[in-house]
Amino acid sequence: MKKFLAMFLIGALAALSFSGCSKTQESSSAAGETTKAADKASGDLVVVGFSQVGAESDWRTANTESMKSTFTEANGYSLIFDDAQQKQENQIKAIRNFIQQDVDYIVLAPVTETGWDTVLKEAKDAGIPVIIVDRMIKVSDDSLFTAWVGSNFEKEGTDAANWLADYLKQKGKDSEDVNIVTLQGTIGSSAQIGRTNGFNKVAKEHSNWKILAQQTGEFTQAKGQEVMESFLKSYPDIDVVVAENDNMAFGAIDAIKAAGKTCGPNGDITIISFDAVSAAFDAMEAGDINVDIECNPLHGPRVAEIIKKLEAGEKVEKLQYVAEGIFPAETAAKDRVGRAY
Ligand code: GYE
């Protein structure tokens, strides 16, 4: 009898653990999210929790696509993707979720530079490496993140201003007054801080450059248009618009045209933009944007490279800057050939 009971119990336990296992796998695929425990059972996928800023721009869409197409199961990863809708509090929540799920790596595209110390300390205490991508963070302790990969935003800003200086010189306008407005990105993001500071630094060296106003358009087309409309009302004599991303430039172009003005190489207002997404090349070819300072969003493979090295126990470079170009309208048709975004 005892023997029978023991055999029954073993059988029941085996059945339970079998159904438990398949249940985990079923629910993980149904939810589209996978727990680390389930992955270990289903073949050692590396679990990556990615907190994305949002979906505010074409750049961001290309960046999300790059991450999603890199961190696939076929490539050995299970990606937990979270869209924070441009809110830091959502990113902090997502990171806490990732910690709870005991992911292998946390990847963070931070909306702003500051405010990360507490939550990243929690990740560190949980022993989860954090990789920062795109924008930078400012933390009191550098060991709170393992590596960062992204752009030199200040260089992008100085590149934009140096292009303007050369352009004005070529046109013989380098001693005339130049009225400039800036549509800034999300205030406190390193893309905004770097581009604004880089441009302003060079602007200070030109006493004829007047920066009339600098205001955020939140990196979106709608807000860019709205702010540009108000700039046009307040300042009837704008010569240059610096749009800290392409989507705000698209909004600004709409506002300029609606106000009965023209822009681009043959227009009233010079447009300088950042990112160089595909639609911006269209705008350059259409004669609406003068120049675009490249910002590369294809970070998926770069982050994967970092993770591969960490998995192999190798050292990684702490800060990795991506090399980027400058695309004037005159050569846009040629420059865009072969670009992936
Ligand atoms: O320029 C903008 C996006 O952080 C580099 O964010 C990124 C910026 C990019 O919304 O289009």
Find the CATH number of the domain harbouring 81: 3.40.50.2300
Statement: the pTM of the whole predicted model exceeds 0.85: yes
Domain-located, residue 319: yes
Residues 201 and 168 in one domain: yes
CA nearest to 134, candidates 97, 108, 95: 108
Angle at alpha carbon of residue 119, lines to 141 and 99, rounded to 5°: 120
Question: Beta strand pairing status for 147-150 and 319-321?
Answer: parallel
Q: Are residues 139 and 158 in the same domain?
A: no
The answer to whether position 1 is within a domain reads no
Is 14 inside any structural domain? Answer: no
Q: Which residues line ligand 1 (CB under 6 A)?
A: 56-57, 59-60, 134-135, 191, 219, 245, 274-275, 295
List the residue whose alpha carbon is closest to atom 7 of ligand 1: 191
pLDDT in tens, the chain (341 residues): 333 334 444 444 333 333 333 223 323 333 334 444 444 445 699 999 999 999 999 999 999 999 999 999 999 999 999 999 999 999 999 999 999 999 999 999 999 999 999 999 999 999 999 999 999 999 999 999 999 999 999 999 999 999 999 999 999 999 999 999 999 999 999 999 999 999 999 999 999 999 999 999 999 999 999 999 999 999 999 999 999 999 999 999 999 999 999 999 999 999 999 999 999 999 999 999 999 999 999 999 999 999 999 999 999 999 999 999 999 999 999 999 999 99
Please tell me the predicted confidence (pLDDT) of residue 269.
98
pLDDT score of 19: 34
Residue nearest to atom 5 of ligand 1 (CA): 191
Residues 246, 172 within the same domain: yes
Is 313 found in the same domain as 254?
A: no
Domain contains 166? yes
Give the Å distance between the CA of 9 and the centre of ligand 1. Answer: 59
Tell me what pLDDT residue 43 has: 65
The answer to whether position 11 is within a domain reads no
> Is 6 part of any domain?
no
Q: How far is the CA of 41 from the centre of ligand 1 (A)?
A: 38
Q: Are 289 and 161 part of one and the same domain?
A: yes
The first and second tokens of residue 45, run together, are 């996928």
| Token reading at 304 | 């994967």
Same domain, 174 and 221: yes
Tally of domains within the chain: 2
Indicate which atom in ligand 1 lies nearest the CA of residue 56: 10
* pLDDT score recorded for residue 248: 99
Residues 198 and 132 in one domain: no
Q: Which ligand 1 atom is at minimum distance from the Cα of 153?
A: 5
Same domain, 157 and 290: yes
Q: Are residues 111 and 173 part of one domain?
A: no
Pocket test for ligand 1, best of 183, 219, 272 (most atoms within 8 A of CB): 219
- If asked whether residues 109 and 213 sit together in one domain, one would say no
Helix axes 88-100, 117-125, angle to 10 degrees: 10
**Are 93 and 226 within one domain?**
no
In angstroms, how far is the first alpha carbon of the chain from the final one? 71
Q: Which atom of ligand 1 is nearest to the CA of 297?
A: 5
Specify if 243 maps to a domain. yes
Provide the domain limits for residue 232: 153-295
One domain, residues 268 and 144: no
305 domain-assigned = yes
Three-state SS annotation for 32-96: CCCCHHHHHHCCCCEEEEEEECCCCCHHHHHHHHHHHHHCCCCCCEEEEEEECCCCHHHHHHHHH
